[in-house]
Structures are given as structure tokens and as C-alpha cells.
A and B are shown apart, each in its own frame.
Chain A
Amino acid sequence: MDFKLKQEHELIRKMVREFAEKNMRPIAKEIDEKSQFPAETVKKLGELGLMGMDVPQQYGGAGTDTISYVIAVEELGRVCASTAVIMSVNNSLVCYPLNKFCTDEQKEKYLKPLASGKKLGAFGLTEPNAGTDAAGQQTTAVLDGDEWVLNGTKTFITNGTEADTILTFAMTDKSLKHKGISAFIVEKDSAGYHSAPPEHKLGIRASSTSELNYDECRIPKDNLIGNLGDGFKIAMTTLDCGRLGIAAQAVGIAQAALEDSIEYSKTREQFGKPISKFQAIQWMLADMATDIEASRLLLHSAAYAKDTKDRYSVESAMAKLFCAETAMRATTKAVQIHGGYGYTKEYNVERYFRDAKITEIYEGTSEVQRMVISASLLK
């Protein structure tokens, strides 16, 4: 067991950090305030090969391993959590399943533009009545000659407003319950497809979280992914990968909170000394740093499991659960360390605090992660 990162991983960390500092830091605060999608940054991420990292080069990707991917997401998350999730969704929730479950023709047509950053993807699973209970799909897909006709509504879809390609789940046979769900590729110019403007949110405000409407939406017959009834399995497999991305985003947020807190506590003086001299502050920093180390190790271990084992659901669930809770604790402490200033928009920590919360919710709430973990323990 080697705890040292390979040189290629160090290089990726360095490259993405430099990119983030140069391109993302100057605008992170503004795009949060204005809820503005960072189109320029996303384009550049595509040019750097970061939008389809583990997709084979043959299909426009960079062909990296998963540890490289989670390092990249962490470095993006450290500067701008919104940008990190935009990139993570494209990688984990769209490129990954297309690469794993599509035919060569489908990959050529749909995966290549997504992995190379020319198009943006979204994952259309959640519905108003199907959140944690993802199997309760009410969107339907019916075969009509050469086309599938989709009807339904998706909600809280990241990248929903901007996405060109939407991996969409729909019920094709209600009698089979979750085994009657199928997965489809929907392009935004499909007849009957409409994306709504984004929701206003507590955090990750520069990423779009949108409702998608399928109203007699017609797509080619060949846009079915895998076989009829494969949809739920595809969704769950995909989410195992997505959770690694969110865990990485959470570690990035926590890391930013720690760095800002160290800086502030060394410079802010009260009672005649820097506040870093007080044990209460020292203890907070120590706990933050320890949590982050443990989180990163759990995450990298899960990433390694993905590349070396058939199933990594439990590792992924543990990583997401722990990393999200770390982000919550770290950002809460960061605001506290900054005192009243930490509650104003003058400092970044209030943004980290707002961003952190969603990592406990999306791509499977912490409750769902506990269900996955406990189920494996009790089988």
C-alpha cells in the first residue's frame, strides 16, 4: 500500500490548481452573487481535456485514472464549488455511463463531443416525486414507429439549462417497477424538449439547477442506451461514480475553508495577539485538517477501488458521506473563526458555508449513503 501520489497525479494537481487560480478565482465571487454560468471557464476546461477525463482518447477523452479525476475536481472545488460540480456532472454522470453502456456508434455520435468539451451533458433522473426514491419514475417513454416519445418532468437537474445532451430516465414498463425503467439520450434540439431557467439556490449558485420538460418529446429509436429495463441499474452504477466527484468537490471546499482560516487566524489580532494563539482556534484548525486528511484518503481509496474492483458502491458511499460532513464542519468552523466578518460577503467563507450544504444532499443524501453502507454490513 503506497500512500504517495504518483508523479502524474502531482502534475494534474499542479496543472488544475494553476488553472483554477488564474481563471476561476478572479470571478468566483461574482458568479456566485449573480448566479452566472461560467461559460468561458467551462469551454477552457474542455480544451484542457478535463470534461471527459477517464474517457478513452478514441472518444475524445484524456484516458486518465480515477484518482486523477478526483484530484482535478478537488482543485476546482477549492476555488469554485459551482464550477467543480458542472465539470463533475459532465464527467461522472454523463460521460461515464455513455462510455460504459453505449454502443460504438452511440459513443462516436454522443460521447465524443461531451468528452472533448464541445457539448455539455446533464443527468435527468430526479423528478418532483422521485428524489431519494429514484425508482418512482413517472416520466414515460413509448415506442412510436421509429421514435421514442417521452412525457414527463425532471427537476433539480445540474447543467439543465445549458445542457446539449441529457441522459434521461423514463418508465417503459410500469408493471416491472424499477426494472421497467430505461435510459435514453435526449438532445436539446429534440422536438418537445424544453429546459427551464435555473432555480435560485442557497449555494453553488453559478451552476444551473433546472426543471426539464418532456412534452411529446421525440427521439430516434437508437437513442435507447443498453436494453429496455436497464435504466435503474445504469442510474445506480452512474451515481457510484458521481459520488466520487461530489466527495472530491466537498474536500475542495473544506480545503479552501482551512486555508482561509489559517490565513485569517494568523493575521487577525485581538487581545494583543493573533487569534491563532488561542487554543480554541488551534483546536478548530487541527480538527479541520485531520478531517480533511481522512476525507482525502477515503476518497482516493474509493477512486482506486473503482479502477481495480468490479463494485465500489460501498467505498463510494463512505467517501461521499464522510467528505460531505467534513465540508460542513470545516466551513462552519471557518465562518466562526472569521467572526462577524465571516458572515459578510467581504470574505469567501460564507460562500463556502453555503456551498458545503448541498454536498450532503445531491447525488444521494447522506441518509441514502448510510442505507448503502448499512445494507452491505447487514447482508
Chain B
Amino acid sequence: MKLELEDHQREFAEKVRVFAEEVVEPQADEIDTSRTIPAELIQKLADEGYLGALIPNEYGGMGLDGVSYTILIEEISRACAATGFTLAVHTTTATLPLLNFGSDDQKKKYLPELCKGLAAFSLTEPQAGSDPGSATTKAKLDGSDWIITGRKRFATNGGRANVITLMAVTEDESGKSGVSAFILEKKELEGLKTGNREQLMGIRGSEVMELILENCRVPGANLLGELNGGMKIALNSLDFGRVGIAAQAVGIGQAALDQSVDYSKSREQFGRCIGKFQAVQWLIADTKTEVEGSRLLTRRAGALMTGEPQELSYGAAMAKLFASKTAKLATDRAVQIHGGGGYVKGNPVERLYRDAKITEIYEGTSEIMRMVLVRSLLK
């Protein structure tokens, strides 16, 4: 068992860190305030090859190994959690259904495009969150086309994306109900509208949309994978997605730790820097330990991305559960260490505090993560 990074991974990590610190971090505050990730920044992510991080070389992607992938998302998120999240969703749940389940034609058509611009993934509905089986968006066969009607919520990148992988309820020839995955190209479609954009407490730069489909006609060629085989596609993609979110949480935790250490060394009260007080020291020691633990769990989950699907499922759930809890603790401690100053906008820890909480919720709540783990533990 090797716990050290390979040389190429270490080089990649350095390169990403420089990019994150020089290009992303200076924009993080404005991204949060304006609720916008500038198109130029998305373009830069594309230029660096990051949008195609998990897409093989043959389709124009970077073909990154799992461990390096977690480093990519961690470093970008450490600079800006909203940007990290946007990239994570794009590279996993929005890309991997196509990569893992697409036909050769579909892969050739869409994967190169996904190396250049953001894509989206749409599963959640108003009445279908933790329980995606309660979804009601329906796709009906009409000749060789599909007519889709329904309402989706919380579709990340849903406004900017041209390509959206969307789940809808379908019936097979025998009338059996299931869920199928469809590739929607916004530019080409009538009957697909973006509705409200969510007003979020944190990661405010990310674009999370309502999608409204009214008799939206989708060509038969855009069915992705097998009819009624969509849930498998969604759950498989979410396993990869959870690795990304775990990495995002590690980045947030690390950022909180960095801020805490800096402030503890510089802020003086009672005639000495507050880092001399055991209470503060303990907070930092605990955060450091938990972030390290999170990072190791997350990198292991990254390595499992090329392994057995069940092992990935388990490893990703554990990493996300632990790393998201860590992000919450680390950012809470960071605000506390900063005292009143940490409660004021403009201080990065104020933003980190708001960003952390969602990592315990999206792409499967911590409760769902526990359910996944229990399935293996108590079978």
C-alpha cells in the first residue's frame, strides 16, 4: 500500500495549486458576491484541460487518474468552493453517464464538446430528492422520438450548459415502468426552459436551476444506455460524483485550516498571539487531523474509480460522509478562532462557513451515505 503520490501526481498537484492560487482565488470573493463564475474563468478551466479531466485522450480529454482528479477538485475548491463544485459536477455526473454508458456515436458527438464547455445533470425533482424513485417527469415514445414533460430542480450548471443528461420515467414495450437517461441539447430543443435560479446560502457562484419541460421532443438517438436502465446510470454517476464532493469538502477544510493557522499566529490578545492558548491549539490540531483523514479517504476513493463498482460506491460514500463533516467542523472552528471578525463579509472564513454545509446534503445527504455503508456492513 503506497501512501505517497507518484512523481507525475506531485507535479500535477503543484501545477493545479499555482493555477488555483493565481487565477481562481483572487476571484473567489467577487464570485460569491456577484453569484457569477465569469465565462473567462470557465474558459481557462477548459484551456488547462480540467473540464475534460476524466475524459480519455481519444476524445480530447486529460484522462486523469482518480487520485490526481481528487487533487484537482480539492485545490480548485480550496480557492473557491463554488468553482470547485461547478467543475466537480461537470466532470462526474454530467460527463460520466455519456462516457460510461454512451454509444460510440454518442461519445464521439458529445465528449469533445464537454472538454470545452459546461454540461449539466438533472435527476432531482420537487418531490424526488433523497428518493429519486418518486420522480414524475415522464418521457413518452412518439414515433422514434421521445416527448418529455416535467419539472426538475437543483440542476447544477443547468443554465449555462448546452448538454444536459436528464432522467425521466419511461415504460418499456411490456408496460413496465422505470427510469431512463436522455441527452438533451438545449440549443436544439423546444419545450425546455430554465426556470428559477436557486438563491443559496453558500457556493453562491454556482448556477443551480429549475428546468421546465413541456412536451419537449428529444430524438430517439438521444436515449442514453438501455431503456429503463437510467437509475443504474444515475447511481453509478453519483458514486463518482461523491468522490468529487468529498474532494471539494477537503479543499474547504484545508482553506479553513490555512486561515485558522495564519490568524492564530498573527492575532494578539493578552499580550501574545492567540496560537499560544491551548483552546486555540486544540482546535487547530483537531482540524488538521480530520482534514488529513478526509484527504486519505478521498484519495482512496479516487483510486477506486477504476476498480469494482461496489467498492467505489462504499469508498465514495465513506469519503463524502467524513470529509463533509470535517468541512463543517473546520469552518466552524475557523470562524470561532477569528472571533467577531470571522462573522463579517470580506473575511474568507465567513464565506467558507456558508459553503461547507451543502457538502453534507447534495449528491446524497450524509443520511444516504450512511444507508450505503450500512448495506455493506449489515448484509
**In contact, B129 and A361 (Cβ under 8 angstroms):** no
Residues of A within 8 A of B133 (CB): 271
Binds A, one of B19-27, B41-49, B303-311, B346-354: B346-354
Q: In the complex, A202 Cα to B347 Cα: how many Å?
A: 10
**In contact, A339 and B129 (Cβ under 8 angstroms):** yes
> How far is the CB of A281 from the nearest CB of chain B, in Å?
8
Which residues of A in the span 351-370 have a Cβ within 8 Å of any Cβ on B?
Answer: 353-354, 357-358, 360-362, 365-367, 370
The 9 closest A-B pairs by CB, nearest first: A270-B131, A133-B269, A200-B345, A345-B199, A350-B201, A156-B340, A271-B131, A133-B270, A199-B344
As a 0/1 sequence over residues 35 to 77 of chain B, the CB contacts with chain A under 8 angstroms (1 = contact) are 0000000000000000000000000000000000000000000
Chain A residue total in the interface (Cβ 8 A): 44
Nearest A residue to B274 via CB reads A132
Tell me if A44 is interfacial: C-beta within 8 Å of chain B. Answer: no
> How far is the CB of A337 from the nearest CB of chain B, in Å?
10
Q: In the complex, A373 Cα to B19 Cα: how many Å?
A: 48
Tell me if A290 is interfacial: C-beta within 8 Å of chain B. Answer: no
**In contact, A343 and B357 (Cβ under 8 angstroms):** yes
Nearest A residue to B154 via CB reads A340
User: Taking beta carbons and an 8 Å cutoff, which residues of A are in contact with B?
Assistant: 126, 129-133, 136, 155-156, 199-203, 209, 269-272, 278, 280, 328, 332, 335-336, 339-340, 342-346, 350, 353-354, 357-358, 360-362, 365-367, 370
A336 in contact with B269 given A202-B354, A353-B201, A362-B340 (CB within 8 Å): no
> How far is the CB of B364 from the nearest CB of chain A, in Å?
11
Q: In the complex, A374 Cα to B294 Cα: how many Å?
A: 33
Residues of A within 8 A of B280 (CB): 367
Residues of A within 8 A of B124 (CB): 340
Q: In the complex, A366 Cα to B367 Cα: how many Å?
A: 29
**In contact, B129 and A343 (Cβ under 8 angstroms):** no
**In contact, B357 and A360 (Cβ under 8 angstroms):** no
**In contact, B129 and A360 (Cβ under 8 angstroms):** no
Jot down 18 A-B pairs with beta carbons below 8 A, ordered by A.
A132-B269, A156-B340, A200-B346, A201-B350, A202-B343, A209-B344, A339-B129, A339-B130, A340-B153, A340-B154, A340-B362, A342-B361, A344-B199, A346-B199, A353-B201, A357-B343, A365-B336, A366-B336
With A131-B339, A340-B129, A342-B361 known, 20 other A-B pairs at CB within 8 A are A129-B268, A129-B269, A131-B340, A155-B340, A200-B346, A201-B350, A202-B345, A202-B353, A270-B134, A271-B133, A272-B131, A280-B370, A332-B357, A339-B361, A340-B153, A343-B361, A353-B201, A353-B357, A354-B354, A366-B336
Max chain B C-beta neighbours (<10 A), residue from A126, A156, A271, A361: A361
Max chain B C-beta neighbours (<10 A), residue from A360, A365, A367: A367
Q: In the complex, A131 Cα to B268 Cα: how many Å?
A: 10
> How far is the CB of B351 from the nearest CB of chain A, in Å?
9
> How far is the CB of A54 from the nearest CB of chain B, in Å?
27
Q: In the complex, A353 Cα to B202 Cα: how many Å?
A: 12
Residues of B within 8 A of A343 (CB): 200-202, 357-358, 361
Q: In the complex, A284 Cα to B344 Cα: how many Å?
A: 30
Tell me if B366 is interfacial: C-beta within 8 Å of chain A. Answer: yes
Q: In the complex, A246 Cα to B107 Cα: how many Å?
A: 59
Residues of A within 8 A of B350 (CB): 201-202
**In contact, B279 and A367 (Cβ under 8 angstroms):** yes
Residues of B within 8 A of A131 (CB): 269, 339-340
Cβ-defined partner of A270 (8 Å) among B130, B335, B342: B130
Tell me if B328 is interfacial: C-beta within 8 Å of chain A. Answer: yes
**In contact, A126 and B360 (Cβ under 8 angstroms):** no
> How far is the CB of B128 from the nearest CB of chain A, in Å?
8
Q: In the complex, A362 Cα to B367 Cα: how many Å?
A: 33
Residues of A within 8 A of B269 (CB): 129-133, 136
Q: In the complex, A106 Cα to B346 Cα: how many Å?
A: 40
Q: In the complex, A340 Cα to B364 Cα: how many Å?
A: 10
Residues of A within 8 A of B340 (CB): 126, 131, 155-156, 209, 361-362
Residues of A within 8 A of B239 (CB): none
Tell me if B332 is interfacial: C-beta within 8 Å of chain A. Answer: yes
Max chain B C-beta neighbours (<10 A), residue from A155, A342, A357: A357
